[in-house]
Structure 1
Amino acid sequence: MNTIQVHDNSNVRIIRLNKPKKKNAIDYDMYVEITKLINRAATDENISIVALTGTGDFYCSGNDLNNDPENTDALLKAIEQFVESLILFPKLLIAIVNGPAVGIAVTTLPLCDFVYASENAFFYTPFSKLELVSEACSSITFPSLMGERMARQMLMLNFKMNAKEALQCGLISNLYKKQELQSKSLKNIKELLKLSQHSLITTKRLMREPNIKKLIEINKVEIREIRNIGKRLYGKSKL
């Protein structure tokens, strides 16, 4: 089974995680493939919007460590490059959260321009429970987006946020009934395509540009801390 499905239509590239038996957990090969797809879309004149979503009942359950190389340094490098591709993506980036999101599936949401979510979704970042630390720049995007107090609840105290709470704190843009999510999301995307793409892209650049260097740097720092945790716990970089 192809674990990444890609569908290009009307200037939109839809990248779908397709590993429902593992709740769309992302492994090394998937990170590499998604990064390539996003980077290619960045320079493809026929693509205006990239949308990320999942197959089945889960959006994504985080990292799949059971299907990754023994050298976790390779996995961490792939994650770093994936996150950097999201930071640098110049066009509109949308997440269609079709179900629960865990770990990096949550921490990457602030890097998206719009997030459409199903009412059955929840958002869970159990880092301290797993003896890990924040990732995907969430150590700075979460406090900025939802405030210091809630960010601490999410990143330090393993708080599981429901969909309504995610809407209230700004983690997601729109909330829909499960059966309406796909149709409403596609309708929103079609409306975005009607707008001036130059205006949208330029405004995104103006909003993101002051923070790009900081985001890239904190991404590297977070990955370094995760690598150090692996060495401390296991004597090598295998988590």
Structure 2
Amino acid sequence: MIKKQKNWTLIFLTLLLIIVPIILAITTSYALYLKYKIRNLEIEVNELKEIDKVEKVKKTELQENIKIDFEGINKFLNIKPKGIIEKENVDIFYLIKKSKSSFQNGEYGGVTLLEEKDAFFQSVNALEHNKEYFLTKVATNLYSFYSEDLGFGNQKVFTVQLRLYLTEEDAFFTTLTLRNAGIPVFVYRGRFKNSGKNYFAICSGLFPDIDEAEEYSDKIDEEKVLQLTGLSIKDRFLKSFNLIGAEENE
């Protein structure tokens, strides 16, 4: 008896004809499902865009309708404008740089000694009101303070003269260098008695008493000044001039 051999090719083709349509059907169904989901997602996105537009329109209309009277609120709350002390990084170095840069005999004002806190706030107050001031550290918590508003009659004040120039430009250039380094200096405008010509002296510190001026002169850092300007101040000396206070100005 002869056994029949299986036709594997026929079997394979038969299975292929059965499986391929099934795979195609599944793939088509999944593609239709994805298309449906994408369409729903697009609808949701468009709806969100429309909602966002509506919200923006409402917000814009609300902002246009609300008018805030800031000036009225400030008056109601008694809010003062921000001063210099809030706008700048104010410290003693800043106040020295902004202080009065020149003096001459017969200037209006006066010099007194104040504690550090009082000198600081008096200087800030002068800055905010465009008033002339000058301050010098005397001790750890003590400052010599000049203000154009102070009045002690005809007051003799003392300073330390460091250098003398015949031109104003040279004097102010050196003065600016020292002030930027935190050294309280100013230009004193004077005249030679014999010739009557002008001179411009760089002076440091301003004091109501000669003792404070002498003590200050002894403590001046000569090396620091030399490094900053290239100038020696070993021959510095005390100088005095007069201020006219409010009592004499009336």
TM-score by length of 2: 0.22
Whichever structure has more strand as a proportion of its residues is 2
- Larger C-alpha radius of gyration, 1 or 2? 2
